Amino acid sequence: PSPSSFQPSGSNEEALQREIKELKQKDLLLDQEIAQLLSEGYSLEELEKHISLLHEYNEIKDAGQMLLGKLAVIRGVTTKQLYPEYDLELSD
């Protein structure tokens, strides 16, 4: 293959440029959010702890969802059908 075959096509390059622009906007918004939280008296340590706890919560929730999924397969039902049995809301 020639070196030009490794160059992104125009549409791919445009898509990458749009994605870069979107990521830069998200980065700016997150920086603004952090600045606002800091101005409200939150410390970086508190924010980092909160983020860490959210990650832990999500990992536990994912494990629970996986177990519910396996149980649903064993019972031949949908995961949704198991929610009432375990007093879970669909938003859980």
Positive or negative, the CA dihedral 43, 44, 49, 53 is positive
Q: Are 61 and 52 a contacting pair, CB within 8 Å?
A: no
End-to-end C-alpha distance for the chain, whole angstroms = 51
* Displacement of CA 16 from its chain's centroid (Å): 21
Q: What is the per-residue DSSP string for 57-85?
A: HHHHHHHHHHHHHHHHHHHTS-HHHHTGG
Distance CA 40, CA 44 (A): 12
pLDDT, residue 92, reads: 64
- pLDDT one-digit tens code per residue, 32-86: 998 998 899 988 888 889 999 999 999 999 999 999 999 999 999 999 999 999 8
